[in-house]
Copies of this chain bind each other. A is one copy, B any other.
Amino acid sequence: MKEILREIGMIARALDSISNIEFKEYDLTRGQYLYLVRICESPGIIQEKVAELIKVDRTTAARSIKKLEMNGFIVKKEDEHNKKIKKLYPTAKGKNIFPFIKRENDHSNTVALEGLSEEEIENLIDLLKRVRGNVEKNWEFVKKGNKRSY
């Protein structure tokens, strides 16, 4: 059995750890960059959706986003037609650090892909997207309380 998930876990933890250390400089605490990036990319998104994208528990996302708001990186806005949801938008402060986050992420990407040809990179991203598609279905299934049988 090829240990795909082990490799992926190692890579993910290492990169996340590096990012968290590097973003302290911008007063972003652990994990916050993930949320801010998504909100900058999709202004008006709601937190439930952010949690789904990142694959993190709803309540974790709620608290991280609350903190981003308290620290002035984003704002929550009521919706005209839907009293339940709160749309999320980056503030000027949030928008300002977005490029720094991108730059860091791009650097990590570049380092990670060192020694791979263009073709191999294309290939890798394609394979990973397919794997992610497979995995996210299972995640939603299990998160909703269903039991996988195997």
Contact = CB atoms under 8 A, between A and B. Distances in A.
A125 B34 contact: no
A148 B22 contact: yes
A9 B5 contact: no
Contact of A138 (B9, B18, B143): B18
Helix, strand, loop or mixed for chain A's interface?
helix
B55 A17 contact: yes
Contacts of A2: 109, 113, 121-122, 125
Interface residues of A, number: 60
Q: How many copies does the complex hold?
A: 2
A13 B55 contact: yes
A21 interface: yes
Given A18-B138, A136-B14, A103 B150 contact: yes
Given A109-B4, A113-B131, A13 B12 contact: yes
23 contacts: A1-B109, A2-B113, A3-B105, A3-B125, A4-B128, A5-B112, A6-B105, A7-B132, A8-B12, A10-B53, A11-B12, A11-B128, A11-B131, A11-B132, A11-B135, A13-B55, A13-B56, A17-B143, A103-B150, A111-B134, A114-B134, A116-B127, A124-B128
Top 8 nearest A-B pairs (CB, nearest first) are A12-B12, A14-B139, A107-B150, A7-B128, A13-B55, A14-B55, A2-B125, A124-B127
